[in-house]
Amino acid sequence: MARDLAGKRVILTGASGGIGRATAEALAGAGARLAVSGRNADALRELAGRLPDAVAIPADITSPDDRRRLVDEAVRHLGGLDILVNNAGVGSWGHFASSTEEINRRVLEVNFFGPVELTRCALPHLTDGVQPCVVNVTSMCGRKGMPAWPEYSASKFALVGMSEAWRGEFARFGVDVLTIVPGMTDSGFDKNWLRTDGKADLRFDKGMTPADVATGIVLAIRSNKTETVLGGEARRLLRFNKFFPRLTNWLIARKVRKLYTGG
């Protein structure tokens, strides 16, 4: 199925900056009508002011009241809902042994429970939409858990798993479920991590741009592609892990040991 984005009514979370902001611009350029959401009200209003027929709805997706208000206001402004893009997320860069329960719960609330419950609020409206779909922006960490990203990996694995379950369930409503799996992106995401004491040489400046990811997201929505892996690094890692999982784990473990022992 080819999905025409002209006139489609979209809720996009995490739109204040980075991938979300670029995706908002790409969707608007394709003719979609947007309700952009996030926690930075000023950035959202500036973004919405530059896009045709867009509304800014500041919201914290971990809040039940905010989730309901976001969906209600978006539906009222747009006259319905066709697409929900769950993009909001938070990261924590550090190893499990020195992490905390508080960090674990916070990451899961933002990256998993928030989008899942927002989808629950949106589903009754999506079932009445035109070529409706839910788009979950996950991560290559949602297909291969990575050291120093334990909470983040777990949250993205959970969202990938929920997406796969929804795909079978939502088919009876005519609602498609698409999963986006980006690799490393120079999006400024690292500026808002809950902790930053992990050990590795992370070169975000060598990763994809937010515009690259946004282009991939829009293409996936248009082509109705079930799962889209974005970025050469992510494709190489996941392909290698598919055929050589034990070797992949051994290489990763060896690298971590060297980081901590110098040997």
Report the C-alpha gap between 244 and 12 in whole angstroms. Answer: 36
Strand partners, 178: 135
Closest CA to 97 of 154, 145, 146, 150: 150
Backbone angles phi, psi at 134, to 5 degrees: -110, 130
> Which residues, at least 6 apart from 187, have a Cβ–Cβ distance to it below 8 Å?
17, 18, 19, 204, 209, 210, 213
Question: Which residues are marked as active site?
Answer: 152
Q: What are phi and psi of 78, to 5 degrees?
A: -90, -15
- How far is 178 from 166, CA to CA, in rounded Å? 10
d(CA 239, CA 4): 31
Dihedral of alpha carbons 138, 103, 114, 57, sign: negative
From 130, 46, 5, select the one nearest 15 (Cα to Cα): 46
Q: Which of 255, 235, 214, 216 is nearest to 28 (CA)?
A: 214
Helix axes 245-261, 232-243, angle to 10 degrees: 120
Distances (CA, A) of 145 to 139, 148, 156, 253: 10, 9, 9, 12
